[in-house]
Structure 1
Amino acid sequence: MTLYDEIGTTYSAARRPDPRLAARIAAALGDAATVVNVGAGTGSYEPPTTLLAVEPSTVMIAQRPPASAPVLRARAEALPLADGVADAAMALLTVHHWADLAAGIAELRRVARRRVVILTWDRELTRDFWFLREYLPEGAALDDARAASIADLARLLGGARVEPVPIPHDCTDGFGAAYWRRPEGYLDPVVRSGMSVLAQLDQAVVRPALDRLAADLESGRWHERHRDLLGLEEYDVGYRLLVADL
């Protein structure tokens, strides 16, 4: 059983693709005529050129739309695919879940002829995100333990350009820092169900953090502390696209 077999039952309700992020991912893939999506989940951001999706969780596979690309149940570290099967391989917000990062990256490079695209976050930046810094430092510690550094990922890729991905204030995809300007979102259990960092932490730690946030929202303390965020249309919380040409 995978992590998302346990926590992913309502994933598609909280994690709806954002068209602005989709445009950035499509630009990173460039003119790739065929794409393999590794750690594909429910199929978010798969371009029409997706040849095949690879996902280990049956719970996530069951939530893929009927018209999605064909999907194989497998892990990133052992892709049941031929060498150079597609122009590009992509892995979006998934590498932090892989048991063997080096093996998974090597597999992406093996199955892609021309390009590998990875969406992840820079933990050096995200640990300063207000929700983690002020309310849930345990989440930053978990990220430090599970997320690879950008430098390590670039090295494993054999070199990569790194592109910042600012997050719109009304982002429809409910990943960890998507609610940077909508703090009340973290109090919504459906929203939280799409955030693996909250699902993986002991709820005896998460619950008091949410109670403190709720109290600060009610009193106005949160808005006073973060008034600088309220007029921003987008914000760099640390998400990064790595694009490696092979």
Structure 2
Amino acid sequence: MDARTQDGTAADVGLGAFARRPRPDPRIARFVAEALDGARTVLDVGAGAHSHEGAAGSMRAVAGAGPACARRPALLARAVDAVAGDLPYADGEFDASMTLFDVHQWSDVAAGLREMRRVTRGPVVVLARAPEVVRDFWLDAYAPEVLETEARRHPPVRDLTAALGGTGRIRAVPIPLDCTDGFDEAYYGRPEMLLDPAARQACSAWSFVGDEVREHFDRTLRHDLASGAWDRRFGRLRTEPVYEGSLVLVRATP
């Protein structure tokens, strides 16, 4: 997951040995495309380099004028400099709209979602993490401060649906074992990957904790991998084809 600024602007950061930067996973993208339900015109709020703009035919992106726009792939159209809470579009201008891995960065989530609802005739799609279950992940045994940060930053799913008019359908999104997105649960069966500091940087919650947390995580996970303790507790995850964690998709219709 890329690090972002508030209100739908983005600051993408890279991965380490696994990949230089997170890439939208095509299997997760299929869930997004299905939720968009064949919409011809789609607004992507918070779009940066980590974008699912292949999910619909005609896409308009809002990402701000900062690093997000600068790092968007050249094959994508330049994103509009705007924030989620004040979208420069007419009522009902788009068939659908989406925001992916981004609402927890907005200073006013409700205002941003209301704006998305205003400019959208059809479904509004939100890919987010449910803070209620964030700490169920094995990382809590090694860096609970990171998951505490994640849980605190992400708005409750009920708040998302309420801001969208209470019409939201919530769906858990399974995470594949070789997921190419850069959030921590993407490594549920590959714990060694999170020993790479660059991989940890791709999840912005790590930037909110101190060096002592990162050092403790690195030291204790390395020890438990070497001793086999991690595998005795969590090793079954290495062969689980998918993981159902905190990743959810909310689809709201008028």
Q: Same fold (TM over 0.5)?
A: yes
Equivalent runs, 1:79-94 vs 2, <5 Å: 79-94=87-102
Are positions 1:135 and 2:146 aligned together?
no
Query: Are the equivalent residues in 2 in contact too, given 1:9–1:60 (CA < 8 A)?
Result: no
Distance of 1:6 and 1:27 partners within structure 2: 25
Distance of 2:34 and 2:126 partners within structure 1: 13
- CA 1:61–1:136 in 2, change beyond 3 Å: closer, same or farther? same
Gaps (5+ residues) in structure 1? Answer: none
Are positions 1:121 and 2:125 aligned together?
no
Distance of 2:41 and 2:181 partners within structure 1: 24
Secondary structure of 1:241 counterpart: strand
Cα deviation code 1:171-227 (max 9, x no counterpart): 011212100000011111221221111122222322212221111111111011112
- CA 1:33–1:75 in 2, change beyond 3 Å: closer, same or farther? same
Partner of 1:71: 79
The amino acid of 1:23's aligned partner reads: R
2:172 aligned to which of 164, 171, 181: 164
TM-score, reference length from structure 2: 0.89
Partner of 1:10: 14
Equivalent runs, 1:15-26 vs 2, <5 Å: 15-26=22-33
Q: How many residues of Structure 1 are paired with residues of Structure 2 in the alignment?
A: 244
The amino acid of 2:224's aligned partner reads: D
Secondary structure of 2:35 counterpart: helix
Q: Which has the higher mean CA deviation after the structures are superposed, 197-206 or 88-97?
A: 197-206
Distance of 1:202 and 1:8 partners within structure 2: 21
Partner of 1:200: 208
Are positions 1:42 and 2:49 aligned together?
yes
The amino acid of 1:225's aligned partner reads: R
Query: Are the equivalent residues in 2 in contact too, given 1:7–1:199 (CA < 8 A)?
Result: no
The amino acid of 1:58's aligned partner reads: G
Question: Percent of aligned pairs with the same residue?
Answer: 39
Secondary structure of 2:60 counterpart: strand
Secondary structure of 2:125 counterpart: strand
Query: Are the equivalent residues in 1 in contact too, given 2:13–2:202 (CA < 8 A)?
Result: no
Distance of 1:235 and 1:9 partners within structure 2: 24
The amino acid of 1:44's aligned partner reads: S
Distance of 2:10 and 2:35 partners within structure 1: 32
Are positions 1:53 and 2:61 aligned together?
yes
TM-score, reference length from structure 1: 0.92
Tell me how far 1:8 sits from its aligned partner.
3.1
Gaps (5+ residues) in structure 2? Answer: none
